[in-house]
Structure 1
Amino acid sequence: MRCQTCGDATSPEIDHCPRCFTPLGQPAVRPGLPTYRVRGIGLAANVAVGATAVLYLVVALSSLIGIVLARRAKANDDPDLLVGAGIIVAVVAMIMTVVHLAAAVLVIIWTWRARRNTDAFPGAEPAFRPGWAIAGWLVPFANFVVPARVVAGVARDSLWRRATPALVSVWWCSWLVFSVGERLASRADGRAYEKLAEIPFNDAGYQAYVDMYQDSLGRATLPALGCVIAAVTLIMLIHRISAAQEARIDGATPQWPIAPVWPAQTWPAAPAAQPASAAQPAPEVPGVAPAS
């Protein structure tokens, strides 16, 4: 007897498939339970996650532009160059924030769909309800643990693992480094910027802007590294989980559709022939004698 999920040979001595853990005799997908396609939304999420990582690197490196412009402002005694540096950094940060929010929404939708699919997989052992795929990101303090545990469960049940893949741990640790580090660095940059003179009048004032951008570049190094690692590992996870779930759902779906059975068309029955005795007399025609 072969497993209906992975196709490996099974033994009656074990009540489940040794490879994919599907109980013996169970289909790959439980009939009657809804499943969702995750390849398309996963691809969109991966594009948004990758774009967020690239834009954050641009934001972190935009401090280099600030350093160059601040030094030129100091050399030329031109405070307008400082305004240009601030505008460039603010515009890039705003674009990154918009893309980051779009990536968050797409990842949450993908996580919810992938988690719902595991309910239809025999042998899956989800630890959290599908609603936590959304609420886990929004509830304070829970968002430090729950999203990782939801994705870990989805990865185990989709990739046929009993232990959580190491890729999940690397993703979540690097995400925490990015998330916490970015907030701390942003607050520190805000406090440093508030201490600067709006219009510097001497070399010391211009040098304060140069030092501020240099410190900002240093503070963004660790969050930028965490952002890149988190983005790469999350893209890999979404791709692998989506491919595994799509293959399982497709394997449980008939490849050839069954032709629909149309109801037989009914025609009105012909009227029954009347007996001769009950036949109606023929109509009389004027000028013609009836037959005797």
Structure 2
Amino acid sequence: MPCALCGDIIPTEVARCPACGAWARRRDFRAIGVAVFMLLGFNAFIALGSGISLLRLDRPLAELTRDGYDAGATGRALAPYADVFTVSAVLAGITGVLYLAWLWRAYRQASGPRPYRSGWVVLGWVVPVINLWLPPRIVHDLWISSGRFSSAGRHAVGAVVTVWWASVLAAIGLAQAFPGGVASLAEARFSVHLGVAATACQALAAALCMVTVFQITRLQVGRPLAA
């Protein structure tokens, strides 16, 4: 198989790359990171495309009057977007499973201090209340412990993680609220605006998650693995 660091061909029975000395563990970890990164990009692309498509519905609704509004036609136009949110949720679930596998691996091999047990890397996402604050904390601590940062760098990491998690929570809440009512023109406009906001938050959350995966993987691949 080709080495993920230098591209040299490595025999399957060899644990280290003969050209750059990379361990197989590190190659496998980088491969998982690349897979998660690509899936997140696909999530962001779908969300962005859905948002742009919804924006095209906003202008015709803005030009309508109450007398010319057709609730049936508007409902049929918005119905597919509910299916899009369902598909996005399924894709996000698949991406999340692979992301947790990557996060588990990254957390266990982090060279810095690990304030939480490895089990919380998974449990922190499913235990009620705790899942509102523990996942971003784990990602933040993992990112910091994977490299050496100045005070400004730590603040930048904290800002990225905070905005990412706020976008995740907002995207979940807004997607659950869509579609809204279409009985009146005002309700239809609100539904479109709600959908645009939901897709924007989804795209932003996926893009920022790509940043965290890329940076943590790069830092861990570039330094010796923890024992």
TM over 0.5: yes
Equivalent in 189, 207, 210 of residue 235 of structure 1: 210
| 1:47 maps onto 2:38 in alignment | yes
Contact kept? 2:125, 2:135, Cα under 8 Å: yes
SS in 1 for 2:223: helix
Aligned to 2:6: none
Match of 1:244 among 219, 223, 227: 219
The structure where helix makes up a greater share of residues is: 2
Which is higher, the Rg of structure 1 or of structure 2? 1
| Equivalent residue in structure 1 for 2:50, among 40, 56, 59 | 59
Kindly report the root-mean-square deviation, in angstroms, between the aligned alpha carbons of the 2 structures.
Answer: 3.4
The answer to whether 1:174 aligns with 2:149 is: no
Amino acid at match of 1:240: Q
Contact 2:164–2:209 under 8 Å retained in 1: no
Deviation track 1:101-160 (CA, whole Å, cap 9, x = no partner) reads 122112211110001112xx3xx2111111111111111111122112222222222113
Unaligned runs of 5+ in 1: 1-33, 198-207, 253-292
How far did 1:88 drift?
Answer: 2.4
Residue of structure 2 in register with 1:264 after alignment: none
Q: Please, which of 178, 194, 199 is the counterpart of residue 219 of structure 1?
A: 194
Aligned residue for 2:3? none
Alignment of 1:112-261 (within 5 A): 112-118=104-110, 121=111, 124-161=112-149, 165-190=154-179, 192-193=180-181, 196-197=182-183, 208=184, 210-220=185-195, 222-249=197-224
Does the residue aligned with 2:116 lie in a helix, a strand or coil?
coil
Counterparts of 1:248 and 1:103 in 2: how far apart (Å)?
Answer: 26
TM-score, length-normalised on structure 2? 0.69
Unaligned residue ranges in structure 2 (runs of 5+): 1-24
SS at match of 1:105: helix
Q: State the alpha-carbon separation in 2 of the partners of residues 226 and 78 from structure 1.
A: 27
The CA deviation string for residues 36-74 of structure 1, in whole angstroms up to 9 with x for no partner, is: 832111111111212222222333344345557876xx8
CA–CA distance in structure 1, aligned partners of residues 173 and 140 of structure 2? 27
User: How far is 1:78 from its partner?
Assistant: 9.2
% identity of equivalent residues: 22
**Amino acid of the residue matched to residue 147 of structure 2?**
L
Would you say the 8 A contact 1:45–1:103 is kept in 2?
A: yes
- Distance in 1 between residues matched to 2:195 and 2:76, nearest whole Å: 21
8 A contact 1:58–1:92 mirrored in 2: no
* Partner amino acid, structure 1, of 2:29: V
For 2:43, the aligned partner's letter is T
Rounded Cα–Cα distance in structure 2 between residues aligned with 1:88 and 1:126: 44
Change (3 A) 1:182 1:216: farther
Q: Using the alignment, how far apart are the partners of 1:170 and 1:226 within structure 2?
A: 16
Query: Residue 46 of structure 1 contacts residue 235 of structure 1 at CA under 8 Å; is this kept in 2?
Result: yes
Code of the aligned partner of 2:84? V
**Is the contact made by 1:60 and 1:221 (CA closer than 8 Å) also made in structure 2?**
yes
Structure-2 separation of matches of 1:166 and 1:129: 24
Counterpart-to-counterpart distance in 2, 1:173 and 1:38: 25
Compared CA separation, residues 166 and 50, structure 1 to 2 (3 A): farther
Give the structure-1-normalised TM-score: 0.56
CA contact (8 A) 2:36 2:98 kept: yes
